[in-house]
């Protein structure tokens, strides 16, 4: 067991670790594993660069206690034999991330500054007297993330004020391949409700909470994205049907997890992709980034995920948004019709 000083040090380092994709934070520094003997067959710059990448993996990976890192490093450097320049190391680093085996980590080569990918626009409608909210993938952050969250609140308000009894909603996450979870959590907040809605847990059993409160999506009570001013719905605890499919991944799965364990919520469709883990970005010297899986999603009831999320009611069907042709939506609406408004 770690003493309090060691635990405080680890917590301080974890607080520096960013959480994107599914986490939107800045990069974190890794611990120096100490010098290693350079391989004469590898250029010095390439060797140092690969060593730095391996340090990041060894000290931050969600699987860090499951891997023989001595053997892992030997295999990586053997694969790097003959490499002299940093760009030549990229395939080696990609291969190393694949060998970690978490299925979620990836490597991004240095790129010029570009606007964040926004994804498709969300939409809302009143379907058979039930609110319907489509939540697509979104990879932006900062002000773009806040703007998206505010857009969701506006869409929800538009439908909420049309309904006689706005106590039933469908949240459609089908096709949501992920991106940044925080604008999505802040956006669906009026339907989700104010509460601690999930957690990340790392291999040292350190938990970080996800909370929605007064328009803000928070991690460990620190706001990440927000809709200001927030919309307050007619019903503070509506019945919710959450729809998923095999393309619901990463941050899309985080939104699904946020509804797990919530009273009055039920899921329909197909199992999700299976990336219910959290990635953090680690910046390398040349501007490349390692997006490393560092923790696992946990719902408010304490259920730990890490793989696919199976729906409460498996239903096969194509997403059309029309209950006449969309069997998953039809099943969700059938269930919602049995749920009475308070």
The per-residue pLDDT string of the chain (342 residues; one tens digit each, 9 = 90 and over) reads 334 444 444 333 333 333 333 443 333 333 334 444 455 689 999 999 999 999 999 999 999 999 999 999 999 999 999 999 999 999 999 999 999 999 999 999 998 655 555 668 999 999 999 999 999 999 989 999 999 999 999 999 999 998 766 799 999 999 999 999 999 999 999 999 999 999 999 999 999 999 999 999 999 999 999 999 999 998 889 999 999 999 999 999 999 999 999 999 999 999 999 999 999 999 999 999 999 999 999 999 999 999 999 999 999 999 999 999 999 999 999 999 999 886
CA pair distance 208, 16, nearest whole angstrom: 13
Instruction: Please name the residues in contact with 250: beta carbons below 8 A apart, sequence gap of 6 or more.
Output: 21, 22, 104, 177, 178, 179, 181, 273, 275, 276, 277, 279
Q: Is residue 127 within a helix (H) or strand (E), and if so which, with residue range?
A: strand 123-127
Give me the numbers of helices (H) and strands (E) for the chain, helices first please: 8, 13
CA pair distance 263, 332, nearest whole angstrom: 16
Taking the CA of residue 314 as centre, how many other CA atoms within 13 Å lie in the half-sphere pointing to its CB? 6
Instruction: Please name the residues in contact with 246: beta carbons below 8 A apart, sequence gap of 6 or more.
Output: 270, 271, 272, 273
- What string of DSSP letters covers 48-85? HHHHHHHHHHHHH-TTTTTS-HHHHHHHHHHHTTT--S
Do residues 305 and 276 lie in contact, with contact meaning Cβ atoms separated by under 8 Å? yes
**Domain boundaries in the chain?**
4-108, 123-277+295-337
Q: Residue 118 has what pLDDT? A: 60
CA pair distance 19, 227, nearest whole angstrom: 20
Pairing of strands 216-219, 207-213: antiparallel
According to CATH, the superfamily of the domain at 123-277+295-337 is: 2-enoyl-CoA Hydratase; Chain A, domain 1 (3.90.226.10)
> To the nearest 10°, the Cα dihedral for 263, 145, 174, 274?
-80
CA angle 97, 103, 104 (to 5 degrees): 80
């Amino acid at each position: 067991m770690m003493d309090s000083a060691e635990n405080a040090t680890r917590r301080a380092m974890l607080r520096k670790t960013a959480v994107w994709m599914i986490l939107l934070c800045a990069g974190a520094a890794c611990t120096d594993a100490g010098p290693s003997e350079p391989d004469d067959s590898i250029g010095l710059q390439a060797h140092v660069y690969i060593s730095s990448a391996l340090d990041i993996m060894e000290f931050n990976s969600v699987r860090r206690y499951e891997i023989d890192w001595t053997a892992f490093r030997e295999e990586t450097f053997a694969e790097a034999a003959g490499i002299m320049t940093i760009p030549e190391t990229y395939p080696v680093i990609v291969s190393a991330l694949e060998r970690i085996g978490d299925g979620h980590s990836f490597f991004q080569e240095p790129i010029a500054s570009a606007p964040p990918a926004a994804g498709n626009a969300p939409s809302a409608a009143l379907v058979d007297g039930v609110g319907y909210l489509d939540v697509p993938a979104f990879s932006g952050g900062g002000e773009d993330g806040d703007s998206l969250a505010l857009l969701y609140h506006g869409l929800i308000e538009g439908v909420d004020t049309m309904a006689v009894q706005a106590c039933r909603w469908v949240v459609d996450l089908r096709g949501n391949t992920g991106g940044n979870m925080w604008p999505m959590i802040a956006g669906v907040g009026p339907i989700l409700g104010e509460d601690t809605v999930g957690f990340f847990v790392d291999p040292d059993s350190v938990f970080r909470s996800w909370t929605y409160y007064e328009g803000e999506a928070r991690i460990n009570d620190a706001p990440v994205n927000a809709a200001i001013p927030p919309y307050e719905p007619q019903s503070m605890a509506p019945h919710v049907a959450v729809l998923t499919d095999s393309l619901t991944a990463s941050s899309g799965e985080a939104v699904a997890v946020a509804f797990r364990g919530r009273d009055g919520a039920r899921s329909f469709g197909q199992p999700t992709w299976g990336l219910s883990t959290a990635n953090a970005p680690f910046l390398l010297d040349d501007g490349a980034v390692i997006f490393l899986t560092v923790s696992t999603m946990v719902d408010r009831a304490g259920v730990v995920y890490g793989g696919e999320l199976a729906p409460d009611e498996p239903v096969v069907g194509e997403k059309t948004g029309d209950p006449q042709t969309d069997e998953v939506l039809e099943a969700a609406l059938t269930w919602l019709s049995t749920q009475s408004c308070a």
